[in-house]
Chains A and B, each alone.
Chain A
Amino acid sequence: MVRDLIDAIGEQAVVWHDEDLLVYEYDGTIDRGNPDVIALPATTEDVIALIRIANRYDAPVTPRGAGTGLSGGALAAKGGVIIGMNRMRAILDLDVENKTALVQPGVVNLDLGAEAERHGLAYAPDPSSQRACTIGGNVAENAGGPHTLAWGTTTNHVLALELVTADGEVQWIGHETRDEPGYDLVGCVVGSEGTVGIVTQVLVRLVPRPTAVRTLLAVYDSVRQASNAVSAVVASGIVPAALEMIDKMTIAAVEPVLNTGFPLDAEAVLLVEVDGPESQVEAEGARVEGILNRFEPREVRSATDPEDRETLWAGRKGAIGALGQIMPNYYLLDGVVPRTSLPDVLDGVYEIAERYRLPVANMFHAGDGNLHPCLLFDEREPGATERVLDAGGEIMRLCVDAGGAITGEHGVGLEKRDYLPWIFSEADMDAMKSLRAAFGPTENFNPCKIFPKGHGCGEAGHQHAQHQIAKFGPKAFV
């Protein structure tokens, strides 16, 4: 098969020596996968050829972007071929009048944002990994980010796709203004976690760049106070561009590295951003500031100039990287709950972490009810990883029991597939599998992702999840 792959796309574009494969064993999770070979296509035709060769050898195919994913979506769970899309990284067209951009999947999120900015436009989804993550990966995971509170996630911003399906056929789906009659196939492919095909071109919607932006930062003495301030902002009728929270543990991690000026004994920091026309930003900013002040903050800072705003954001955006200050490893969760249950669920998260003797840092999209508890540990300590996985499962269950879901923006992937039955019945999952089957022989296409079980998916590796399911019951609100 390696010979065929080399014949198809050239020796330089195929990686198969053991030591070179190592970097492809990881993504942003604590799982691992062992690919047999990596293929790096340069064109749509290359992708078609690669998928057909893999199908001929019955080899599993796993698409991969920058490998920043947080659910194991880009891991070769059953070996086989990883198709890495990083060489297809051109912005092919940017239509200012109709506010669209045509890009290849390997384009880095931030690069697209910068190009749009040059034309007075913006690409709204902004995952925290935006300096590295690619548009193709964003499409696969339906990526979010702080600024999706007002603008929606990736699915709201993808208009059309060139897709090579699992059967090696290529087609365009979707339309510039969503006027192609028929099923919303784009809506089905975005967020399908690379399990139905590989996207080779993406037509995205750009949005007008706000003429003014104001960022407010408020420091609180309790998470409750901060949560109540979040609820009050949401209830006030203002839809901020972003509404984020970081807690004490996160402050302790970022302060020494980034000099954000956060008081180390504060319990929570809120970041609120409003944008739009000048007059709106002025009025909304004042109202938000009034609301933040009602909940007895220690201080409220505000900035409108880009550099000062960047400083306020530094503590949020650099949070994950800074956690290494406290512990060598972290396990980042992605639960989502109805907004009104946020304070109680947060209490529950702290309680669970304490019970498992794990430090937990919270930095999250409070306005969306999207939590990111980050459990800190040292994998060299015997039993630590198991404890982290158990605590993670229990936190997931807490979110589900609060009427939430197991992932807001990171995807189910390999990591949470065994939890899917907590929120979906067999019939629900069968319907999803029917959709998958429409895209061709998908059993071997990014196998072992999203759905529980699966032939040859290394059940042993998922004992912890089985244990969780036994412990917390098989179903929640199915």
Chain B
Amino acid sequence: MAEPETADLTEFHSHFDHVDTDSALLQRYEIDGHTPQGALRVNTIGDIERAQSAAMRQDFAVIATGGRTMLGLGMPPRRYDLALDLSGLDQVVDYEPNDFTISVQAGMTLAALQRTLASNGQFLPLDHPRFEQATVGGICAVGRGGLRRNALGGPRDWLIGMRMVTADGTAIKGGGKVVKNVSGYDLPKLFAGSLGTLGVIAEVTFKLRPQPASDQVVALHADSFEQALAASRAAATAAPFLNGCVALSERAAARAASQGADILDDRPALVLRASGLESAANEVLASALAAARSAGLEGEESRTPAIVETWQAIADLELGTPAAQVRLRIGLPPGNLERACSLVDELVPEVNSRVAAGDSGLLFLETATVDAETIRELRNRLGPLQGRLTIESAPLELKRAADVWGPPGPGVRLMNRVKEQFDPNGILNPGRYVDGI
């Protein structure tokens, strides 16, 4: 399919009061050097239906956006005509606190959602970097668990219902508003983690949890990242009910410290979190700390009352700095973390920043000195460790040469057929996901 020089936005202008075409403004939606011809801020699900229906008729490639914190995740777009900006779709649709469920529009930020819930002593157990900007729709579209995923799971585990708009502009839904439901196929799970390639997420319903009576965060300084990592594994094994267990390298700790993590400085560290009733959190933390000490962490403990700020500064490390660094994410069974780190040390000469979740099997790296060949080698050798490496951010050439997602796994045949069913014309976030989906 030939790439059109300019998309004809006439139909959009006739349907909507305002389509942004100002080039300075459109820069906000830029992905790997591609900017759309226009951006449309939607205010209702009906807007999304009309926009998709027009896009389908005119064969426009549409990329739905929220807080744009992870807009860069994925391969460069094959086509990009219209940015569909959902950040204005940010209202609570339905909230009965005693049902422990909430339905919100996709453009609501995670921070705004958490504030609404906190006023009733509830919360949604999900972490996400830059949660003041990140929207629930975007978080679901990316669909990954974060550094606390061992304790919390991911969006898929809290989603109980969803409204979406298909490529051709049809509003559909899956799931419902009850916490346990097997009526029909689980479309919310299909759309969570689909990266906007199957339809536009318009509204989501989550099940909720009561806020814990006690939430504690403790940092232990370490001599090296390796030592912090070994201690994180020991702590995770000794205290399986931990609610966070993260090892940080010097630079990662220093950056988190500069962003408000007051218990960190420029030394490598292990950060532990435990929640629940106070006595239970104390018990979990005590066994985790004892294990970390046995693994060689001798420094003093620092505790903070600023749990939210501290943890957010750590969660934000997932996104790293905007500088022209290469950022990698490796996910694997937690028991294989240390071997994965040794592999990285062996193959990548200079790693600037390392963050590892010892209980969750996640490793984030920043480096300036990695090429496509090294990434291929890393992936090959991570294979036997069940490790999957994703390029979170990199110069365009490296993204293309090494493939952001890596060689597709055995499920790719079915994934392509699902894509074919839901977006036969390939107009939704085209080319950006696994195997060119």
CB pair A182–B405 under 8 Å, yes or no, is yes
A432 at the interface (CB under 8 A from B): yes
CB pair A438–B333 under 8 Å, yes or no, is no
B190 proximity list for chain A (CB < 8 A) = 183-184, 187-188, 435
CB pair B388–A408 under 8 Å, yes or no, is no
B186 at the interface (CB under 8 A from A): yes
CB pair B156–A184 under 8 Å, yes or no, is yes
B386 to chain A, nearest CB (A): 5
CB pair A98–B181 under 8 Å, yes or no, is no
Candidates B145, B170, B237, B386; contact of A176 at CB < 8 Å: B386
CB pair B334–A98 under 8 Å, yes or no, is yes
CB pair B386–A182 under 8 Å, yes or no, is no
CB pair B184–A182 under 8 Å, yes or no, is no
The 8 A CB mask of A18-41 against B (1 = contact, 0 = none) is 000000000000000000000000
The 8 A CB mask of B317-339 against A (1 = contact, 0 = none) is 00000000000000111111000
B119 at the interface (CB under 8 A from A): no
Expressed in whole angstroms, the Cα–Cα distance for A411 and B405 within the complex equals: 35
Find the residue from A192, A280, A340, A411 having the highest chain B CB count within 10 A: A280
Expressed in whole angstroms, the Cα–Cα distance for A175 and B411 within the complex equals: 10
A47 at the interface (CB under 8 A from B): no
* Count of B interface residues, CB-CB < 8 Å: 83
B100 to chain A, nearest CB (A): 7
Which of B18-26, B37-45, B279-287 sits within the interface?
Answer: B279-287
B88 at the interface (CB under 8 A from A): no
A403 proximity list for chain B (CB < 8 A) = 177-178
The answer to whether A427 and B172 touch (CB under 8 A), given A97-B335, A409-B180, is yes
Expressed in whole angstroms, the Cα–Cα distance for A156 and B189 within the complex equals: 11
Closest to A399 in B: B178
CB pair A176–B405 under 8 Å, yes or no, is no
In chain A, residues 428-446, which have Cβ atoms closer than 8 Å to a Cβ of chain B? Answer: 428-432, 434-439
Expressed in whole angstroms, the Cα–Cα distance for A142 and B183 within the complex equals: 10
Candidates A173, A174, A434; contact of B421 at CB < 8 Å: A434
B1 proximity list for chain A (CB < 8 A) = none
Candidates B99, B406, B411; contact of A172 at CB < 8 Å: B411
CB pair B154–A178 under 8 Å, yes or no, is yes
B129 proximity list for chain A (CB < 8 A) = none
A307 to chain B, nearest CB (A): 25
B107 at the interface (CB under 8 A from A): no
The 8 A CB mask of A333-373 against B (1 = contact, 0 = none) is 00011111000000000000000000000000100111000
The answer to whether A405 and B178 touch (CB under 8 A), given A177-B331, A338-B96, is yes
In chain A, residues 297-356, which have Cβ atoms closer than 8 Å to a Cβ of chain B? Answer: 336-340
The answer to whether A237 and B183 touch (CB under 8 A), given A277-B283, A439-B414, is no
B290 to chain A, nearest CB (A): 14
A340 proximity list for chain B (CB < 8 A) = 96, 98-99
In chain A, residues 260-286, which have Cβ atoms closer than 8 Å to a Cβ of chain B? Answer: 276-280, 282-284
The answer to whether A408 and B180 touch (CB under 8 A), given A276-B241, A427-B170, A431-B172, is yes
The answer to whether A279 and B176 touch (CB under 8 A), given A181-B388, A182-B409, A187-B156, is no
CB pair B434–A405 under 8 Å, yes or no, is no
The answer to whether A187 and B189 touch (CB under 8 A), given A174-B411, A277-B284, is yes
Expressed in whole angstroms, the Cα–Cα distance for A422 and B83 within the complex equals: 35
The answer to whether A171 and B186 touch (CB under 8 A), given A144-B180, A184-B143, A184-B192, is no
A424 at the interface (CB under 8 A from B): yes
A95 at the interface (CB under 8 A from B): yes
A269 to chain B, nearest CB (A): 21
B87 proximity list for chain A (CB < 8 A) = none
Expressed in whole angstroms, the Cα–Cα distance for A47 and B144 within the complex equals: 33
A152 proximity list for chain B (CB < 8 A) = 153, 157
B176 proximity list for chain A (CB < 8 A) = 404-405, 423
B187 at the interface (CB under 8 A from A): yes
The answer to whether A369 and B412 touch (CB under 8 A), given A188-B189, A192-B185, is no
B173 proximity list for chain A (CB < 8 A) = 424-425, 428
A180 at the interface (CB under 8 A from B): yes
Find the residue from A282, A338, A404, A410 having the highest chain B CB count within 10 A: A338
Expressed in whole angstroms, the Cα–Cα distance for A436 and B422 within the complex equals: 11
The 8 A CB mask of B367-395 against A (1 = contact, 0 = none) is 00000000000000000001110100000
B194 proximity list for chain A (CB < 8 A) = 183-184
A14 proximity list for chain B (CB < 8 A) = none
CB pair B182–A436 under 8 Å, yes or no, is no
Expressed in whole angstroms, the Cα–Cα distance for A233 and B14 within the complex equals: 54
CB pair B186–A155 under 8 Å, yes or no, is yes
B174 at the interface (CB under 8 A from A): yes
A187 proximity list for chain B (CB < 8 A) = 156, 186, 189-190, 192
Known: A177-B360, A276-B280. 12 other contacts (CB 8 A): A97-B335, A148-B180, A172-B410, A174-B411, A183-B190, A184-B190, A187-B156, A237-B212, A279-B277, A279-B282, A369-B180, A404-B177
Can you list 5 A-B pairs, Cβ within 8 angstroms, ordered by A? A404-B178, A405-B183, A408-B178, A423-B176, A431-B187
Q: Which of B's residues lie within 8 Å of A, judged by CB?
A: 96, 98-101, 121, 143-145, 153-154, 156-157, 166, 170-174, 176-187, 189-190, 192-194, 198, 209-213, 237, 240-241, 276-277, 279-280, 282-284, 331-336, 360-361, 386-388, 390, 405-406, 408-415, 417-418, 420-422, 433-435, 437
